[in-house]
Amino acid sequence: MKFFNLKDTEMSAMLDEIEELAGYKFKDQDLLLTALRHSSYVAEQSEPYECNQRLEFLGDAVLQLVLSDFLFTGLPDAQEGILSRTRSMLAREQANASYALKLKLDKALLLGNGENMSGGRERPSILGDAFEAFLGAVYLDGGLEEARDACLRLLPKPQECLQSLGLKENPKGMLLEYCQSRHQQKPEYVCVSAEGPAHKPIYEVKVIFKGREIARGLGKNRKNAECDAAKNAMLNKEWEADLLD
């Protein structure tokens, strides 16, 4: 964990690296610096710096528009409900934090001493806000198309978004459809164990397909454990090659 802000000499090189990763060169690099200033940092400075909250507000709106267009164009057969849920998945805090990490914004964030020491540089809420502020900065500096291009570099393909949504909402249904369409057979779920205190047990379930165990999962009840097992089976399909042996 990093407990300090970059020195001025280091920050310049880091800003250049962020621009390279984003595929965008700022005309006014002060906008990028503002996007990286957390309110905790500004509160400790004698000079009246602006923090990234206003840029975050703007970037949130830009992100919603970019994602809406991205999904509307990339998933022409998807209904409004699917589009909305997929957009929410791509714009949630954890997703925004992952975009920030891809751009290495975490390394350049300017945080107050207390926020630094308490792990703020790794906190999803701070990282997500920084990404939205970054997007707002790109929009102000270069316009909507540049912000769109910078954002799209970080997103998965539309069909991969649908698969991720399916794994999140209905992993058992996805595994069932996959097994039936490719192998004309259904998976089965077997409870391996239920351990822990009676009021809070942890269930372990395995998925059996064509007589072989293909994945295991854990959960606070059997249903959750089965969903976890199905998700693991879909994320790691090495078992499918074993069926050909």
Active-site residue identified among 132, 141, 226, 228: 132
**Does the active-site annotation cover 30?**
no
Rg, the chain, Cα only: 22
Tell which residue, 113, 22, 95, 114, has the closest CA to residue 31. 22
Residue 158 in tokens? 């539309």
Of 150, 101, 151, nearest in space to 126 by CA: 101
Query: Are 187 and 206 contacting, i.e. CB atoms less than 8 angstroms apart?
Result: no
CA distances from 81 to 67, 69, 72, 85, 164 (A): 14, 15, 12, 6, 15
28 in active site = no
Q: What distance in Å separates the CA atoms of residue 44 and residue 62, rounded to the nearest whole number?
A: 30
Question: Among all residues, which ones are annotated catalytic?
Answer: 60, 132
